[in-house]
Amino acid sequence: MKVPFIDLKLQYQSLRSEIQKVMAEVCEEQAFILGSQVEAFEKKVGAYLSTTHAIGVASGSDALLLSLMALEVGPGDEVMTSPYTFFATVGSILRLGARPVFVDIDPRTFNLNAMLVDAALTPEVKVLLPVHLYGQCSD
């Protein structure tokens, strides 16, 4: 028996009419960036998270970069993160001139091992950037 890795068609079927309606509205409005649909999405996410600010971005890479920029990470700073991650995590750190500091993973979860963070701390560490994998939140 062949078991599919992920069945996007099944997921899509339950949301099909809603997705098609919104896509038609976006195409009619021709506001693919900063349009009314994006604004509505940001407001809904902000309300869900009980925050006054929520910004939709094009990718996870953009989200990482903008988050580090908001924290004013730059040259001379260190950012602790997991070595077991997509390259965009480290790419965002390097793009700002900061230096990644790798903290090894927990072999059970593959997430950053929280027990090793204290030993890796230096005065230059400005941010701890965890990576959440396989539906598990990092400690």
DSSP secondary structure of the chain: ----S--HHHHHHHHHHHHHHHHHHHHHHT--SS-HHHHHHHHHHHHHTT-S-----S-HHHHHHHHHHHTT--TT-EEEE-SSS-HHHHHHHHHTT-EEEE-PBPTTT-SB-GGGHHHH--TTEEEEE---BTTB---
Residue 133 burial (C-beta neighbours within 10 Å; 0-12, 13-18, 19+):
middle
Q: Residue 67: which domain range?
A: 60-129
- Provide the pLDDT for residue 138: 85
* Domains contained in the chain, number: 2
- Provide the pLDDT for residue 106: 93
- Provide the pLDDT for residue 69: 97
pTM reported for the whole predicted model: 0.77
In a domain, 66, yes or no: yes
In a domain, 113, yes or no: yes
In a domain, 137, yes or no: no
Residues in the chain with pLDDT < 70?
Answer: none
In a domain, 19, yes or no: yes
pLDDT tens column, 108-123: 999 999 999 999 999 9
In a domain, 134, yes or no: no
In a domain, 17, yes or no: yes
- Provide the pLDDT for residue 135: 81
- Provide the pLDDT for residue 127: 96
In a domain, 44, yes or no: yes
Q: Are residues 44 and 85 in the same domain?
A: no
pLDDT tens column, 66-75: 999 999 999 9
In a domain, 104, yes or no: yes
- CA atoms of 22 and 56, how far apart (whole Å): 16
Q: Are residues 38 and 72 in the same domain?
A: no
| Element (DSSP H or E) covering residue 127 | strand 125-129
Q: Are residues 70 and 105 in the same domain?
A: yes
